[in-house]
Amino acid sequence: MNRHIISAMSIAIGIGATSCGTAGIQRYPDAPQTPDTIDTYFDLEVRDLYRPLENDTSAATLAWVEAERKVTSDYLATIPFRKDIHRRLTELLDYTKTGMPWKSRDGYYYFYENDGLRNQAVLYRTKTLGDSAEVFLDPNLLSEDGTVALKGVFPDNSNRYTAYTISRNGSDWEEIYVMDNQTKELLPDHVNWAKFTSAAWHGDGFYYSAYARPENGTEFSTENTNHQIYYHKIGTPQSEDRLVYEDPAHPYYFHNVWVPESENIMILNIGGNGVGNAMKIKDLRRPDSKWITIEPTQEKSIDVVDVIGDSIIFMTSYGAPNNRLMTASISKPERPNWQELVPNDPEGVLIGAQSADDKLILTYQRDAAHHAALYDRKGHKIRDIKLPGFGQVGFSSDKDDKEVFYSFTSFLSPSAIYRYNTETGTSDLYRATEIKDFDMDDYVTEQVFFTSKDGTKVPMFLTYKKGLERNGKNPAYLYGYGGFNISLNPAFSAQRLLWLENGGIYASVNLRGGGEYGETWHEAGTKMQKLNVFNDFIAAAENLIDEGWTAPEYLTIEGGSNGGLLVGACVNMRPDLYAVAIPRVGVMDMMRYHLFTIGWNWAADYGTSSDSAEMAHYLHDYSPLHNISDDGTPYPAIMVTTADHDDRVVPAHSFKYAAALQAADTGSKPKIIRIDSNAGHGGGKPVSKVIDEYADIYSFIYHNLGIKPSIAR
């Protein structure tokens, strides 16, 4: 499983008279409305005033978008230090970023590298590490503006061909191309409308996952159903691809397949309707073989680690809230035949496992930081793998090779790559990352624990400049997510350095709903317990204030996607705690989120408004769109962000939320929306767009905190 590393109109509108008096903004655009649109959820009636904004291709919506863009552009243009922030961010991001190498069967080492400000990392290969490497695939050549991103590369098992997936403008839609490994020339093979896919090679072709082509004009908003598995034979058109698997009785399932290098079996992962995934296996050596179920439900997670001989090694949460390592025979893989290899660890969450020569490397998460250890194949621990500190680690290894690499990163450590010796347990630095004109030793990260509303202890990482005084006057940037079993581990971000060098505190909080403490922690922030997530975040803000790190007039909160929901909900609940809020690509309409693209997939965490009257009321009571104050309560300065090609969280969420904010009486601070073009939810975003976006975000923050950053000339 570790051999194949997956990387990655202008229409005029009149300006209305809503929200007058906002600082720096005279008027906001009138949004298209349908006052009579009322939805009924059991006993609950909900008016959806801005329903027209759900149609992102209508003339009215496009006109409103252009008008909002002008308001935002005009506002940001008045900030005198915006160009200085853009310049400094460009300097900070101009450093070489090198990924871990992995060794292919053709004898080459492959690795990604961005030598500075390229929009996309380039895939290189070399026979000997340290020697000059040749370009294998450069996604920067696939578009003029860097908006085509390389999502994954999948070499066949003979190393003759490589299939690779791309996405355009940040969309989740993927295309598959095939290239000749020796000549690096493209084959005529081209697959469209793939989504959430790999390319699993078998024989002279590969399996992939796709949806039916959407109707014109609905490509980025229509509901995606009936995820299918196809087989594409090299040299044939997509129209001849063979349908291998579908489940029309369950249209809201995801399907993805994996084939080991032996090509003797196919593993089918099934998700989309629970907190985990189901799994089936099929013998590819017999054309008439049937699917055998390994894991029948989606209530527990299961991930194949490796196939060694007749044995499957896999990680699962079944019978183990913190996950455990199991093994089963290919011929008898059902649950009753599973055997435990490494048991559940109550002190840490098993988050990864992989083969390394004749051993196994296991990665655990304890208090939101990574720890790793080496085991033999019988499940006996050999030794811990010592890591440099609080951070996260990733390994590149294989069952047929003694060579092991790992990368380590933290809030103050850009990715460093090490060679690891499985015999001696020693690590040697292979490649460090250097950033000019920034001394990491001047800063420190510490972990604190605070008490949430219901008495739960919650961890938070604080990063700041050494010698910082707790005088209640420090600008603080509080970031959170809290959902979908996703953990916020210490990780590096070059754009964050601008905040730190200007005396700011960066606080990353590990909310319930995440995976930091296993499935119990995750479930404590889902469905009818979602308020725990918001209460944790509010308690984090209060802790920063109570402990003297900052004060409400210096506090910024930010989150993206599910974190955008977090920010929107917490602003409604406690607008007095923050000076600035940045809800990015957020889920803002909790009553209708499940009706667009793959929103239905989030129901396991959120529940839906159609589940029950109780669930409908619960969602409505915290939905950011539906709980904006309109009684003059002062809100923080808010900049909403979204993008025109976001087909994960469709821009209608942010459109409707921004329109409602601007129409409401929430005080004099600005409420603007930044709508990016030729961009999506965030994955594969070009470096140039990252710099532009964060220049706007930081400019907005500093301007509304009343702080002139020291880099301003």
Give tens-digit pLDDT for 118-148: 999 999 999 999 999 999 999 999 999 999 9
Going from the C-alpha of 349 to that of each of 143, 371, 530, 655, the distances in angstroms are 41, 10, 22, 38
- What sign has the CA pseudo-torsion 127, 130, 131, 133? positive
Beta strand 228-233 with 349-356: parallel, antiparallel or unpaired? unpaired
Q: By the 8 A CB rule, do 89 and 694 touch?
A: yes
**What SS3 class is residue 518?**
helix
Check if 410 is active-site.
no
425: which strand partners?
Answer: none
**What SS3 class is residue 519?**
helix
Q: Which residue, 635, 508, 512, 634, is CA-closest to 559?
A: 508
What local confidence, expressed as pLDDT, does residue 646 receive? Answer: 80
The token pair at 384 is 């811990």
pLDDT digits (tens, 9 = 90+) for 397-440: 999 899 999 999 999 999 999 999 999 999 999 999 999 999 99
User: Exposed, middle or buried: residue 95 (CB in 10 Å: 0-12, 13-18, 19+)?
Assistant: middle
d(CA 156, CA 154): 7
The token pair at 56 is 């992102």
d(CA 508, CA 52): 36
Q: Stretch 359-386: mean pLDDT, rounded?
A: 97
CB atoms within 10 A of CB 254: 18
Q: By the 8 A CB rule, do 207 and 257 touch?
A: yes
Q: By the 8 A CB rule, do 675 and 644 touch?
A: yes
Check if 380 is active-site.
no
| Percent of all residues in the chain with a pLDDT value above 90, rounded to a whole number | 91
Least confident segment among 24-28, 238-242, 500-504, 601-605: 24-28
φ/ψ of residue 597, rounded to 5: 40, -110
What local confidence, expressed as pLDDT, does residue 2 receive? Answer: 34
d(CA 373, CA 551): 42
d(CA 592, CA 608): 8
**What SS3 class is residue 556?**
strand
pLDDT band of 251, cuts 50, 70, 90: very high
pLDDT band of 194, cuts 50, 70, 90: very high
Indicate which residue of 626, 681, 699, 703 is catalytic: 681
Q: What is the dihedral of CA 84, 89, 95, 101, to 10 degrees?
A: -170
What local confidence, expressed as pLDDT, does residue 26 receive? Answer: 77
Q: For residue 483, which amino acid is it?
A: G
What local confidence, expressed as pLDDT, does residue 18 receive? Answer: 33
CB atoms within 10 A of CB 262: 12
pLDDT band of 645, cuts 50, 70, 90: confident
Write out the DSSP string of 109-120.
EEEEEE-SS-SS
User: Exposed, middle or buried: residue 142 (CB in 10 Å: 0-12, 13-18, 19+)?
Assistant: middle
Q: Is the pLDDT of residue 22 over 70?
A: no
- What sign has the CA pseudo-torsion 679, 685, 688, 694? positive
What local confidence, expressed as pLDDT, does residue 600 receive? Answer: 95
Q: Which residue, 445, 430, 365, is CA-closest to 396?
A: 430
pLDDT band of 23, cuts 50, 70, 90: low
φ/ψ of residue 461, rounded to 5: -95, 135
pLDDT digits (tens, 9 = 90+) for 295-344: 999 999 999 999 999 999 999 999 999 999 999 999 999 999 999 999 99
Q: Is the pLDDT of residue 16 over 70?
A: no
Q: Is the pLDDT of residue 6 over 90?
A: no
d(CA 495, CA 697): 11
Q: Which residue has the higher pLDDT, 711 or 695?
A: 695
Least confident segment among 355-364, 595-604, 612-621, 675-684: 675-684
Q: Stretch 153-171: mean pLDDT, rounded?
A: 95
Q: Is the pLDDT of residue 287 over 90?
A: no
Q: By the 8 A CB rule, do 126 and 135 touch?
A: no
pLDDT band of 24, cuts 50, 70, 90: low
Q: Is the pLDDT of residue 457 over 90?
A: yes
Q: Which residue, 525, 532, 541, is CA-closest to 574?
A: 541
| Percent of all residues in the chain with a pLDDT value above 70, rounded to a whole number | 96
Q: Stretch 265-273: mean pLDDT, rounded?
A: 96
- Residues sharing a CB contact under 8 Å with residue 1, sequence separation 6 or more, in sequence order: 258, 260, 304, 305, 306, 354
**What SS3 class is residue 555?**
strand
pLDDT digits (tens, 9 = 90+) for 221-232: 899 999 999 999
pLDDT band of 713, cuts 50, 70, 90: low
Q: What is the mean pLDDT of the chain?
A: 94
| Per-residue three-class SS string for 605-622 | HHCCCCCCHHHHHHHHHH
The token pair at 479 is 């970031």
pLDDT band of 682, cuts 50, 70, 90: confident
pLDDT digits (tens, 9 = 90+) for 196-219: 999 999 999 999 999 999 999 899
φ/ψ of residue 10, rounded to 5: -105, 105
Going from the C-alpha of 458 to that of each of 143, 504, 521, 557, the distances in angstroms are 44, 22, 10, 17
Q: Is the pLDDT of residue 520 over 60?
A: yes
Q: For residue 181, which amino acid is it?
A: N
Q: By the 8 A CB rule, do 586 and 654 touch?
A: yes
CB atoms within 10 A of CB 116: 11
d(CA 441, CA 431): 19
pTM beyond 0.75: the answer is yes
What local confidence, expressed as pLDDT, does residue 99 receive? Answer: 96
Q: Is the pLDDT of residue 105 over 90?
A: no
User: Exposed, middle or buried: residue 633 (CB in 10 Å: 0-12, 13-18, 19+)?
Assistant: middle
Q: For residue 617, which amino acid is it?
A: H
Q: Is the pLDDT of residue 594 over 50?
A: yes
d(CA 346, CA 366): 10
**What SS3 class is residue 60?**
helix
Q: By the 8 A CB rule, do 389 and 410 touch?
A: yes
Q: Is the pLDDT of residue 277 over 60?
A: yes
Q: Is the pLDDT of residue 1 over 70?
A: no
d(CA 548, CA 474): 9
Indicate which residue of 171, 198, 487, 561 is catalytic: 561
What local confidence, expressed as pLDDT, does residue 10 receive? Answer: 23
Q: Is the pLDDT of residue 598 over 70?
A: yes
Residue 618: CA count within 13 A, CB half-sphere:
17
Q: Which helix (H) or strand (E) element contains residue 485?
A: none
The token pair at 370 is 């990574």
Q: Is the pLDDT of residue 35 over 70?
A: yes
